[in-house]
Structure 1
């Protein structure tokens, strides 16, 4: 900095981070609703169900125990780490020791910890696109370079080996792999998972796999963990997960990362300076969730499946919208390129949106329905809607969208 030049108030590193688009849309919708507006929000990936009673009861009981009023190990309570290891073997067929688990403040901290631990400045990370909005920001914070590989609806939002091969350079260190996917709901077949894992191993890459939607699949589609499907990867795998989606616990903030001992030790060192331990009460609740039955998620899936079919049918009834049927998570990712450039009558006169961001803003302003534009997840021309909201709101929200978009000229 030259003499007389004022120092920047905000560091370049943090100034370069974009706000979470999904949370921003959700916050705007909630603010409008609090102001008395009849806004319907399709933005946040948040089940509308309450957390199951037995989990809440475990938290209440834990809050009354003085031992949980104190600091605990930064890496997590031993009983939760064991529950995570047992659950991973049960659901993924992947055997890990509890010492390979780091409990984090939600899945986002697991994402941040992982890239901060593995990535050096200039390292490239391949990100199948559309991607969850936090991934590239966490990579950039670590000094890494996100390399987007886009798979459109024509290929079911699933990247191919050929696409991945074309993206590899001598700087590539990690492949990010997400199935079921947020934002598209796409799920890779067991054969595709194994093939991609074997390819990554042949390139000497790490694989970071986010498995938080593992229990949310439909139409007989099965979740497959790349850690199990591709043993060739050895110990160059980090699994990210959490209780938020499976057990309707988004606000409890408990996630985790699983990896080789040296990576977990380094990430634990980072967390010991950042946040230390996750709330003990929340950890006890998470342990209760993981050691309890999956009855609650099975019941939620019945509702999600019903809503999934309803929203896909409703959006596909709109001229200019093409919405593939997702087989996982609780999102639809609709192609709205057919609407861009068309004219819409608004309270301020005719408008011709040229991007999905402009279209999403128009829908919020005109019919008070909040959706997330494709720019948050990759290229423009798409919108993401969560169908984790209630049936009545979903039906009314789709009706409003149909009525407005149906008037396009």
Structure 2
């Protein structure tokens, strides 16, 4: 059997197809520019001998239904999916599940209603997710659709971690609390870290750092999330590509009172114009590294501020956990930027965190690896994330009961 994973956005659908006997991704691709005059479809697949192939075409994709139709047709034409009956499940990524969903859910009308209900908490993401879910249900009623929520892994946080110190009514009536995001990634790398440590996950205390254009940190005790850096939305926490992360709320009040900002202007400023791009005009850490090496002061400030905030979260979560088995770097920056990893861990030797400079700086190393020194009490690991695989496996488990 196979599992198809769909990540539907407002104008795109990313997808992967997995075999469930060995969890190899036998196909992946993208449908882009849905609703525009000229859409784009990309497909990469493996044939029976394991050789890689790819195809690309441009044509109008007016709706999500047309996009998913074309995905299935492309998979059939490539030979990796001869019949929809081969699908054990269709797994869907959903950014926000509110407080209700702690586990994957097989989609029914009540699940759809619950996802729709929290659209105000994720207006840029949940509508696109819902479009893909509803089309998949309509096109393939015999194939279970399963939703895996980015917020689910964080639902084990205690109230002391997820509540804000604001009047009770804002929580009880309007659901204003910290939810956390990137949970699928944090869960995946936590399981892989436990395997690398040779311990059951429920015996591991971990700090996981998902660092990319969006970035978050999570404290994991005995395999469960007890705190995470993102909040009501993905804006809170670490410095990100275009998001500010933590900021004094009085800054928003000042901007409204003295500079005439309204809610939409604040949204643009802190979600799209801040973070790395606000500090130095660039949100690609590779380019920022090059600029800093050439003496660009704004780029150096962006790196320094990023790693300063990272170090604060590592220290805070270390204090919260009491004992840390490993720190895990993942995401595009976490996996590839030796400089960010070095600076984030620099000066933490008294906490048992020491890097092996050669292991950290090795440009030839890829995949899962340890970069801490042999004498380091806390292991420091680099683990490439694989959210699609995690969604596929959780979806298969959900339909198996």
TM over 0.5: no
TM-score by length of structure 1 reads 0.29
Structure with higher strand content: 2
Q: Which has the higher contact order (CA 8 A, sep 6+)?
A: 1
Q: Scaled by the length of structure 2, what TM-score is found?
A: 0.29
